[in-house]
Chain A
Amino acid sequence: MQNVLNGIPLWWYLVVSSALFCIGLYGTLARKNAIALLMGVELMLNAANINLIAFWRYLAPASSGGLAFAAFVLVVAAAEAAVGLALVISVYRATRSIDPEKLDKMKL
């Protein structure tokens, strides 16, 4: 474990998480499917989680703050996924479509 830490610098994790975040962001902004949009959101949340864990492990392993935050994010992400999927289903029932570009009901 110590070796691994020594061998892999922090910025590798950051690169991975950044890549993951960008993929998630792209998915959220560009996909034509609401479920894929939700998946993009999950990816971004997990990128943030990688960051939290990495920073915790490398910079402040003594405290449990990083772990706690990561756990919170997981729980929130699960709740968000549940709510998001429920929304998608009800939107599909109402409009027979889950293409976010066709949903402009939020316009006042």
Chain B
Amino acid sequence: MSHESITTLLWLAPLPPLLAFAVIALFTNRYRQTSSTIAVLSMVASLVMSFVVFFNVWQMKDLGKKPIGGQIGWLPTGETVLNIGVVVDPLGATFLFMVPLACTLIFIYSVGYMSADPRYTRFFAYLSLFAGSMMGLVVSDNLLTLFIFWELMGFCSYSLIGFFYQKPSAYKAAVKAFMTTRVGDMLLLLGMVYLYAQTGTLNFHEILRNEEVLKSLAAAPAVLGLGISAAGLIAILIFGGTVGKSAQWPLHVWLPDAMEGPTPVSAMIHAATMVSAGIFMLLRFFPLLVASGEHGTAFTLVGLIGAFTAFLGATIAVAQYDIKRVLAFSTISQLGFMVAAVGIGAYVAAAFHLLTHAFFKALLFLASGSVIHGVEHGHHHVSHHGHSGHAGHSEHEHDAHDGHGHHGDHPHHDDDQAGHAFDPQDMRNMGGLRHRMPVTFATFLIGGLALAGFPFITAGFWSKDEIFADAYYHGLVKGDGLATLVFVVLVLSALMTAFYTMRQIAMTFLGQPRSEAAAHASESVPSMTFPLIVLSVFALFIGFINIPKDFPVFGALVGDGAYWLKNFIASMLLEKPEPLAFNPVPVLFSIGVALGGLALGWYVYARNPLQAGQTDPVEKLPVFNFLANRWYWDELYRKIFVNPLQAIADNYSRVVDKNVIDRILEGGYALGARVTRGFAEFDRVVITGFSDAMGRLFRGLGDWGRELQTGQVQSYLLSGLVMVIAILVFFLFLFQ
């Protein structure tokens, strides 16, 4: 396929979902079936185009050096023109594979998941807009359009988190997510402005594959005398955007609250795509990080924040009861893994983990949505019948109530017999679901094992191992302090990851049901289980795209396919990283923490499954409250930022607003009224007078002209004669 056709496909790929958004929002918003069909079909169209591009470029060896794409002049800025365009390079190509695939599956899942929602079409409109923006972000060849799509995604995220806006916690979460990411976006915007001021372009290829530009950026000192190079400052500012979007500490607080949105949204936006966009951009700007110095401030900052976030997320996830919040903190932690990998220069490992994580985390979220759906159905079933049913309830009767509307993340009904609201997302209310929801259980198990890094047969193992191998090599072999720290912290975090994953699986699926709702839960519809099955295939096998060549057994098994991802996307970098020799130590660590964590979780939760009313063993930990309250970051931010701002705002409205602004406005009003009256007078005398005079004048002229029109041929001739004489006089005497 020619490069021109690939470029055309790149231009077209983001369009179908964007058009679907317009069509649904404007025309078909009353027709549920039509709208969801349009959305899914548009996403499939986008998927087909992306796959055509991907399978045309995936074996090109020099794609990194010569990315395929095209540009158009967009904003003329005085003497220069700001070009925008599309491009596919190895990093973009892998995303062109992952993003539309994940989005399509989640669209299909949503058809089933949202089927009872009254705002079904609105949901698909937002989802389409989001998917189109994400596709646009992936194919963008410059920071400006990337930023535009980035912000569009932020808007969609805001709208979808607050989708159940009748629930106060949902709209608060939406505002929180929007405001928190805004901090990061502001830094990103500053970085972009600074970058443009320094280089005069925002095109990735022109900046990041051009050694001269990178050198001059590295040589220029940053503004404000910060003591670092311009490259370092720009990299840090851009990393600020990543911190916001990918929920890194200190801006991680929005992501757990974002779970107020419908579960497909959590899977798509807050696990697979939008939060990956932050890492994606960081990876794009990796050459800038390199230019700012191997052990420079930027790298150190990225590594430290990543490692700390990985640890923070993993510890908090241990002490959560909400099935989605466990996954949210796990996402924060895993994104921390990737950021930390970038911080130690493990470019390929970060990209690899990003890719595998997108699949298994989307899978986990969708499976958890299926669980919530099932439990919610069980709850409806029980409260509908108003009796204390038991597990032996007839299946037939159960199916008859499958059609019951509300489910999932809707406002909880407070008609529970116990008198308090029943929470279908609370894992303490679950248990024993493996019998009631076998497909969900199997797929959740696969996703969980991938997250825990279960050796060899899950994707998560290979990508996490790649990060460990890099960190071990740079840290303990080469003696880099930061990498050593990253290695230790990540190993600890991985141990906790395996533990909380096992805890989640055991509490949700093993043992006996701990509530009536769980006892009556039912398996979800095929449109929901089908995406789960597809995703679990990827969660198992996507890791095989980047197996080290000299890894025992598996390296030989994949043969020439070894290190495909590394060979493919490392051509993005100016200096190709040399492949690491196989080292058994990090692999053993990797296997050890995965199996160790799982075994510990098994020992605590699965050996003696939790009984109804029994307290969770982690509550005995002395730090439990600290962890359950998320290290009190939210309280801290509330004290430091929210409360003072609110106090300032209150005082401002009372003192400044009432006394100063209102006075000024009232004075202004009075003045304005006076001036207006003056104008009215002016209007009446001058403007109206003038127009009246003009009217009279032309009326007079008309009357005079009418008298000329006698209808008599001789008078016409006379006036013709007068005109001729007048013209003669003009030309012969006056015009000399």
A103 touches B709 (CB 8 A): no
Q: Is A37 an interface residue (CB 8 A)?
A: yes
Q: List 18 A-B contacts (CB under 8 A).
A: A28-B717, A29-B714, A29-B721, A30-B714, A37-B713, A37-B714, A100-B712, A101-B712, A103-B712, A104-B710, A104-B711, A104-B712, A105-B711, A106-B711, A106-B713, A107-B709, A107-B710, A108-B709
Assembled-state Cα–Cα distance A39/B710 (Å): 23
B residues near A107, Cβ cutoff 8 Å: 709-711
Q: Which of A29-48 contact B (CB under 8 A)?
A: 29-30, 37
From A25, A30, A103, A108, contact of B713 by CB (8 A)? A103
A residues near B709, Cβ cutoff 8 Å: 107-108
Assembled-state Cα–Cα distance A107/B713 (Å): 10
Interface size class of B (residues with CB under 8 A): 10 to 19
From B714, B717, B718, B721, contact of A101 by CB (8 A)? B714
Interface residues of A (CB under 8 A from B): 25, 28-30, 37, 100-101, 103-108
Interface residues of B (CB under 8 A from A): 709-714, 716-718, 721
What residue in chain B is nearest A101 (Cβ atoms)?
Answer: B712
Taking the closest CB of chain B, its distance from the CB of A85, in whole angstroms, is 15
Interface residues of B, dominant DSSP:
helix
A residues near B721, Cβ cutoff 8 Å: 25, 29
Starting from the known contacts A103-B712, A104-B710, 11 additional A-B residue pairs (CB-CB under 8 Å) come to A29-B714, A29-B717, A29-B721, A100-B712, A100-B713, A100-B714, A101-B712, A101-B714, A106-B711, A106-B716, A107-B711
What residue in chain B is nearest A41 (Cβ atoms)?
Answer: B717
Assembled-state Cα–Cα distance A38/B489 (Å): 117
Assembled-state Cα–Cα distance A37/B712 (Å): 13
A residues near B717, Cβ cutoff 8 Å: 28-29
Assembled-state Cα–Cα distance A28/B721 (Å): 11
Taking the closest CB of chain A, its distance from the CB of B717, in whole angstroms, is 6
Assembled-state Cα–Cα distance A101/B718 (Å): 13
Q: Which residue, B712, B716, B718, has most C-beta atoms of chain A within 10 A?
A: B712
Taking the closest CB of chain B, its distance from the CB of A94, in whole angstroms, is 15
A residues near B713, Cβ cutoff 8 Å: 37, 100, 103, 106
What residue in chain B is nearest A28 (Cβ atoms)?
Answer: B717
Assembled-state Cα–Cα distance A105/B710 (Å): 9
B residues near A106, Cβ cutoff 8 Å: 711-713, 716
A residues near B711, Cβ cutoff 8 Å: 103-108
B residues near A30, Cβ cutoff 8 Å: 714
Taking the closest CB of chain B, its distance from the CB of A33, in whole angstroms, is 11
Taking the closest CB of chain A, its distance from the CB of B721, in whole angstroms, is 7
Q: Which 10 A-B pairs have the closest CB atoms?
A: A107-B711, A104-B711, A106-B711, A100-B714, A104-B712, A29-B714, A100-B713, A107-B709, A29-B718, A29-B717
Taking the closest CB of chain A, its distance from the CB of B243, in whole angstroms, is 81
B714 touches A28 (CB 8 A): yes
What residue in chain B is nearest A25 (Cβ atoms)?
Answer: B721
Assembled-state Cα–Cα distance A100/B716 (Å): 12
Assembled-state Cα–Cα distance A25/B717 (Å): 9
Assembled-state Cα–Cα distance A103/B712 (Å): 6
B residues near A28, Cβ cutoff 8 Å: 714, 717
Assembled-state Cα–Cα distance A100/B709 (Å): 15
B residues near A108, Cβ cutoff 8 Å: 709, 711
A residues near B716, Cβ cutoff 8 Å: 106
Taking the closest CB of chain B, its distance from the CB of A74, in whole angstroms, is 22
Assembled-state Cα–Cα distance A101/B716 (Å): 11
B residues near A103, Cβ cutoff 8 Å: 711-713
